[in-house]
Amino acid sequence: MTKLTKNRKVSIDKVDSDKSYTLEEASSLVKEITTTKFDSSVDLSC
């Protein structure tokens, strides 16, 4: 089992795995929990 970093733990705490997020909620959440110092991309599927 791999260790969770501090940032990963914070991200996991902010996401409710039982909830279905709207596109607006999901994009806001991604922006909030990102920790990268570069522009990254997100893939969506239905």
pLDDT given for residue 35 in this prediction: 83
Each residue's pLDDT tens digit, 9-46:
998 999 998 999 999 998 899 888 888 888 888 887 87
Measured CA to CA, the distance from residue 11 to residue 29 in angstroms comes to 9
What is the pLDDT, as a whole number, of residue 4?
Answer: 87
Query: In the predicted model, is pLDDT for residue 1 greater than 80?
Result: no
Note the pTM of the prediction, 2 decimals.
Answer: 0.66
Per-residue pLDDT at 2:
80
Whether the Cβ atoms of residue 11 and residue 5 lie closer than 8 Å to each other: no
For residue 28, the model assigns a pLDDT of 92
